[in-house]
Structure 1
C-alpha cells in the first residue's frame, strides 16, 4: 500500500477557543519529532554502513533479493508504510544501505520499505529508458543497449537487490508492450492506409515517387518535377491525416492540394533558402521600390495564426509557416488559402477553430498578385 494513499485521522477534543494553541503545540511537537527522527536515522545509517564495511572486510555475503519475501511476510504492513514515509527523501545508495544492512540496526519492516522504495525508483528509470527507446526506429535494440548501460551503473549493494532475471524480465516486459502497441496500431492501420492511399491518388495519381532533394533547387534534374515530389515522408503522413479530416468534414480536397503545393515549393527550394525576398531590393523603371503585402483578409488570418498559440503544438512545420507568412516570400508565391492554413493549425493543435469547416466546402482561389503589389517612394 502506498503511503500517499493512507488516510490519517487525528482525533481531538480541543474547543475553538483552544484550538489555535493546540495546533501550535502540535506543530512544534511534530517539528521536534521530525528533527529527532532525522537525527536518529542518520545515526542508524552510519551504524549500518559500518556493519556493511565490516562485512566486506570479513568477506561476508549480503542478504539476497529473495530475502525480501521473508521480510514482507514477517513485517506489519503499517510499519512498512510508516518506514516508507520516513525514507521519502533518501537516495538510492542510502536505501541500499538500509535494505542490505547485515546487522539488526534496521528492522525487517524498514529493510522491506527501503527495498520497495529502491525498486520504485529503478522502475521510474526503466520507464524513462522505454520512452526514449520508442523514439528509435529499432525500439527493442535501442532499449536493450540502454538497459545494459543502466545495469552497469548499479553498485555492489544494488546488484544484490536485483533478481537474477532482471535484464531478461525487463526486456520481456518491453517486448510485450511493443506487441500491444503494434496490435493497437494494426487495428487502426486499415483506416490510416485508406487515407494515405487517398493522398497518393489525389496528389500523385496513384504512383508515389521518392522524396526528392530540394538542396539542388531548380536544377535540370528537378526542373520538370512537381512540387509534390519534394514533400517529405513526415509531410505526406500529415497530408494523409488532412484528407481524413477533410473527407469527414466535407472540405474540398483542392484546399489540401494547394497547401501541399505550397509546402512542396518550400521544400524544393531547400526549405526556402534558395528563394530571395521580393521586398528586399526590387524597383520599377521610375526608381520606386516595389514591395508586396497581404490582403487585409489574409493578413487577419495570419495575425490570428501567429497569436492564438496554435503553432506551438500544431502539426504544421514552423519553418514553412514562417516562410509562407513572410510577405516578401509568400504573398506572390502562395497558391493555398491562409484561412485554411490557420484552420488546419488550430485543428491539429486541438484548439477551437476560428472558422467553421463548412467555410471550406468549395475552394476559393487565393488573392491575386495585383492585390498585393504596391509602390513605395525611395
Structure 2
C-alpha cells in the first residue's frame, strides 16, 4: 500500500524539464508529405460509397480483407501512420467506407489506416464501458454490467461496422474485462494483506501490541486525560497514515524511532484539542528580573522549516497541515517537539509523492538530542519591565497595606472579626470556592480580612 498515488521510492528518477524529445516518424513524414485536401477525400469517399452500394445491391459480401495487407512486410508503416493522421477527424462510418471499399478507390495503405483508426475509436468506447462497470463494488455486478454494455454496443453496429470485427468480438471483450477484474482482485488481496501486516507492526511498536480506543482532546486536560499517553489521542486516520509510514520505513531501512517521535508530537497535538489548548510561549513569558523570554528554532531546524514552508509538497501531503503549522511555530513547537524536523519534512514530501530534499539514508540510525541547545534557542529581551507595587503585602499569614495601598484608600478592617469562611471540601470549581469569600450581608469581599485574622 502506498502513501501517495505514486509508488514510494527514495531513489525515484525525475525527468529534467529541459530534456529533448526526438521527432517521431509520423511528424517527420507529415513535414515531408503534402496531405490530400478535404475536398479530394470527400470525392473519394463518395466513389467508395457508390461501390459499396452496388455491392449491396448485387448482394455481394462486404468483409474486411486487409489481413494480408496488415501482415505484409512491404507495407510502409510511415505511410500508414500518416494516413491515420489524415483520417483522425473522420467518423466510424466514414472509416468503414474506406476500409471496406470494394472498388479500389482507396489503396491498401489507406484501408489499413482506416481499419486501425476505427479500432482506436472503438477501443475508446470499450474503455469507457470498462470504467463505468468498475464503479460497481461487487465484481459480479461489474462483470454483468459490462456484458450488458458490450451487447448493447455490438447491436448498435451498422452492417459495415459488423464487418469490421470478428464473430468473437463480444466474447473476447468480455474475457479481457474478466481478466482485469481478476487481476484487481488479486492486487487488492495482496494490498490488504500487506496493509494489515504494517498496521499490526505499527500497533506493536507504538502501543506495545495493545491498541487502545481513540481518545478525544476536546475536553482538555481533565483528570482523566492528563495521565493518558499522547498516542491514545491519535485518530484512526493518523494510525492508518503511521502504518503506511512503517511500510515505507521498512522498505527504506529507516529507524522506527523517527516514526515513534513523530507519532508522539502528533498525539500531543491531538491531546490538546489540535493545539487549541496550548498557549504561545512567545506571547508573554518573563524571567524573575522582568526580562521577556522568547524561544526559537536552532539554525539547522529553521533552515529545514523554511524549506518545508516554501515548498509545494505540504499542500498535497497526507500529513495534517494544521499539525505541521503548529509544530513549525516557534512559540508552540520549539519547546514541545521531541521528533526530528528533517524527518518531518521528509515524510511531508513522501506522502505528497514529491522529490525528497533529503534521502531516506539519512534516517537509518536514530539520532537523539544530546542537549537542549539542539532542540531550541532561548533568548531574553534587553529591557526589563517594572513590576507595579501591590496594595497589600502578605507574608506568613500577616498582611499589611503598602504605601501605594494607603494612597488608594485600601484598609484592613481590624474592628470587625472576620471569621475564616467554611470551605466546602466537596466544591467542584474554583468559582464556588471564591464565592465563599464574600460577606453575604454586605456583598463585600472579606478575603483580606480573613487572611489578616489568621
TM-score (norm 1): 0.61
Identify which range, 201-210 or 184-193, moves more after superposition. 184-193
Distance in 1, Cα, partners of 2:201 & 2:190: 19
Match of 2:247 in 1: 241
2:66 paired with 1:71: yes
Match of 2:93 in 1: 96
Distance in 1, Cα, partners of 2:350 & 2:324: 15
Write out per-residue CA displacement over residues 92-139 of structure 1, whole angstroms, 9 at most, x where no aligned residue.
653431224575344565333212222234435656776898899667
1:299 deviates by 0.7
Distance in 2, Cα, partners of 1:139 & 1:269: 44
Q: Is residue 74–residue 108 contact of structure 1 (8 Å, CA) maintained in 2?
A: yes
Match of 1:196 in 2: 199
Give the count of matched residue pairs.
341
1:313 deviates by 7.9
1:255 to 254, 258, 269: 258
Determine which structure has the larger helix proportion and give its number.
1
Determine which structure has the larger strand proportion and give its number.
2
Q: Is residue 278–residue 292 contact of structure 1 (8 Å, CA) maintained in 2?
A: no
Write out per-residue CA displacement over residues 141-184 of structure 1, whole angstroms, 9 at most, x where no aligned residue.
66876897799789755964555665654443244245446656
Structure 2, unaligned stretches of length 5 or more? 1-23, 386-454
Partner secondary structure for residue 88 of structure 1: helix
Match of 1:114 in 2: 114
Match of 2:401 in 1: none
Aligned pairs for 1:115-194 within 5 A: 115-123=115-123, 156-157=157-158, 160=162, 161=164, 166=169, 169-180=172-183, 183=186, 194=197
Q: Is residue 136–residue 142 contact of structure 1 (8 Å, CA) maintained in 2?
A: yes
Q: Residues 138 and 295 from structure 1, CA distance in 2 versus in 1: closer, same or farther, beyond 3 angstroms? A: farther
Report which of the two structures shows the higher radius of gyration computed on alpha carbons: 2
Structure 1, unaligned stretches of length 5 or more? 10-26
Write out per-residue CA displacement over residues 307-365 of structure 1, whole angstroms, 9 at most, x where no aligned residue.
56665786655564344324355335433111222344566745462685367434337
Write out per-residue CA displacement over residues 248-277 of structure 1, whole angstroms, 9 at most, x where no aligned residue.
34x2x332111012334556678x485677
C-alpha RMSD of the superposition? 5.5
Distance in 1, Cα, partners of 2:60 & 2:264: 68
Write out per-residue CA displacement over residues 172-224 of structure 1, whole angstroms, 9 at most, x where no aligned residue.
324424544665677788776554332210112213356x486967598x945
2:360 paired with 1:363: no
Distance in 2, Cα, partners of 1:358 & 1:75: 56
Distance in 1, Cα, partners of 2:345 & 2:153: 49
Distance in 2, Cα, partners of 1:371 & 1:171: 67
TM-score (norm 2): 0.53
Q: Residues 242 and 106 from structure 1, CA distance in 2 versus in 1: closer, same or farther, beyond 3 angstroms? A: closer
